[in-house]
Amino acid sequence: MFYKSEKDTIAAISTAVSDSGIGIVRISGEKAIEIADKVYLGKNNKRLISQRTHTIHYGYIVDNGTIIDEVLVMIMKGPKSFTGEDTIEINCHGGVYVVNRVLEIVIRNGARPAEPGEFTKRAFLNGRIDLSQAEAVIDVIQSENEYALQSSVNQLRGSIKNKISDVRKKILYQTAFIESALDDPEHISVDGYGEQLKEVLLELMGEIQKMIDSASDGKVIKEGIQTVILGKPNVGKSSLLNALIGEDRAIVTDIAGTTRDVLQEHIRLKGISLNIMDTAGIRKTDDVIEKIGVDKAINHAKESDLIIYIVDSSIPLDSNEFNTLQLLKEKKSIILLNKSDLTSAVQIDDIVTEYLVHNDNVEEFNIPVIEISAKTGQGIEELEQTIRDMFYHGKISFNSEIYITNMRHKKALMQAYESLAKVMQSIDLMMPEDFYSIDLMDAYESLGSIIGESMGEDLVNEIFSKFCMGK
């Protein structure tokens, strides 16, 4: 259980510290309204301290009688505020100097600078949100694509909290039954209880496993698809990267081997993110620098989520393609026949035949092959849709589905699953019922760590330390 170690009133800039139209200084704590009232000059000498909650007031911020800025001040009295405490938000002009000046005046009049994430931490400690919702706040801020944003908002609304709480209630019910039976064996029988409990456990383990399995999609939703573009020199790798980005970022020439190192870009396609790497052309070479680039390309391919392998369809296949095709066996891959706007020397059937011939252990060819032209844009739309279909099975919906995007949550779910599996094992071994309750409570505690009910203060502090100062 956590106890608030201090009740200081805190303040911070809650908007980006850069020149902009508006800047916001947030104040939270018992003296928030009192402090704001000291530095605020309202029309007709209006006092903030006597105003109703959830109202906005026009006036000025003053420092020793000198007007600093024209502002709108929002009053939100606890517990109906984000932090659960009295909160003030001063909306001033967004110049870097003026926003910092307002913050300085607020701090001089009794507030202290907020620590990173301290506003959200107070919301958690005051019971306004659980820990999974608090973590969703930073995920919303850091979202880099539409799916990541939708998933974070869904978690912020309590999707994970509600699911975890439901599973924990069922575990607690079974634990309470066991404890009651052990305390009062004359009136509560456990005959046949093991088999009944197994049915409950199978249901709970199924629900937990579904959440664990969603972490693969969740990782892609949050972090993006680690994508490597491979191919021989001068097949159009850099041209493809430029086509996907929509601007010329990679150098494109007719000289083979122009790309010597890895060029990385982050792009968004159909609501998902690609962390995409354009690599050196793969071929045998005596050039020491080019060989380093080739080795880097192969290593990145082995660590990627997706390989996009490009073939120049205007010239016949050669041994470089044969060797590289073997890299595609263990990864999700897409083969692109580029330069389809030219006379074709390679057909899809040629790729399939060569792949099967040079991969003796592969019985069928299941890699998408798409004809494209990075120059004209032909096939790019099909490539984007193929990537989406490859990584998201069916329609992504955030109405009822939960996607685990936080690896801390996944680890806790796996620990809970293992604890429930131990209960199943104890039942099969006909162990005494008190053995069941030990592992049931372990599962209960593991799940509790996700929503912040069963974890140490140091870990909570570490989580919130990753937040920005004004959140």
Q: What is the CATH number of the domain that holds 153?
A: 1.20.120.430
At residue 266, the pLDDT reads 81
Residue pLDDT, tens place only, 341-393: 888 877 877 777 776 666 665 567 788 889 998 888 888 889 888 888 887 65
E strands, 245-304, where?
A: 263-269, 272-278
Residue 450 lies in a domain: yes
Question: Is residue 174 one of the residues assigned to a domain?
Answer: yes
Q: 103, 13 in Cβ contact below 8 A?
A: yes
Q: Which residues pair with 229 in a beta bridge?
A: 278, 308
Q: DSSP label at 85? A: S
Q: Are residues 98 and 243 in the same domain?
A: no
Q: Does some domain include residue 194?
A: yes
Q: What is the DSSP letter of 264?
A: E
Could you tell me which residues come within 8 angstroms of residue 441 by beta carbon, excluding any fewer than 6 positions away? 175
- Residue 3, in any domain of the structure: no
Examine residue 352 and state whether it is found in any structural domain, yes or no.
Answer: yes
Q: Collapsing DSSP states into helix, strand and coil, what is residue 299?
A: helix
Distances (CA, A) of 203 to 196, 426, 435: 11, 17, 20
Q: From 391, 415, 442, give the residue that closes a domain.
A: 391
Nearest to 408 by CA among 133, 126, 135: 135
- Same domain, residue pair 340 and 436: no
Residues 290, 349: one domain? yes
- The secondary structure of 355-386 as a DSSP string is HHHT-TT--S----EEE--TTT-TTHHHHHHH
pLDDT in tens, the chain (471 residues): 333 445 899 999 999 888 889 999 999 999 999 999 999 999 888 899 999 999 999 999 999 989 999 999 999 999 999 999 999 999 999 999 999 999 999 999 999 999 988 999 999 989 999 888 888 888 887 777 777 777 788 888 888 999 999 999 999 999 998 888 887 777 777 788 888 999 999 999 999 999 998 887 777 777 788 888 888 887 888 888 888 877 554 444 443 444 445 577 888 776 678 888 877 666 565 555 656 666 677 777 778 888 888 888 888 877 666 666 667 777 788 988 888 888 887 787 777 777 666 666 556 778 888 999 888 888 888 988 888 888 765 555 555 578 888 889 999 999 999 999 999 999 999 888 888 999 999 999 999 999 988 666 776 777 777 677 667
* Predicted pLDDT at 434: 82
Predicted local distance difference test score (pLDDT) of residue 401: 72
- Check residue 268 and give its pLDDT: 79
Q: Domain holding 25: CATH number?
A: 3.30.1360.120
Q: Determine the residue type at 99.
A: V
Number of neighbours of residue 192 by Cβ within 10 angstroms: 8
Q: Which residue intervals of 184-287 are DSSP H helices? A: 193-223, 237-245
Same domain, 175 and 277: no
In a domain, 201, yes or no: yes
**Residue 396 is assigned to a structural domain of this protein:** no
Angle at 175 between CA 169 and CA 178, to 5 degrees: 145
Choose one of 342, 367, 391: the last residue of a domain. 391
* Same-domain pairing of 268 and 378: yes
Give residue 173's pLDDT. Answer: 92
Q: Does 37 share its domain with 92?
A: yes
Residue 80 burial by CB count (10 A; 0-12/13-18/19+): exposed, middle or buried? exposed
460 and 324 within one domain:
no
How far lies 104's CA from each of 32, 88, 110, 182, 312, in Å? 15, 15, 10, 62, 62
What is the per-residue pLDDT across 6-22, written as a single tens digit (0 to 9) for each? Answer: 589 999 999 988 888 99
Question: Of 336, 371, 391, which residue sits at a domain end?
Answer: 391
d(CA 107, CA 92): 16
Domain tally, the chain:
3
Residues 148 and 280 in one domain: no
Helices 146-156 and 159-183: crossing angle, nearest 10°?
Answer: 40
What distance in Å separates the CA atoms of residue 282 and residue 325, rounded to the nearest whole number? 11
Query: Residues 61, 90: one domain?
Result: yes
In a domain, 471, yes or no: no
- Please report, for the domain that includes residue 241, its CATH number: 3.40.50.300
Can you give the residue range of the structural domain that contains 239? 222-391
Q: Would you call 248 helix, strand, or coil by DSSP?
A: coil
First to last CA, the chain: 23
Helices (H), ranges, 315-456: 319-325, 348-357, 380-391, 407-428, 433-451
Same domain, 310 and 289: yes
Q: Are residues 269 and 372 in the same domain?
A: yes
**Domain check: are 96 and 175 in the same one?**
no
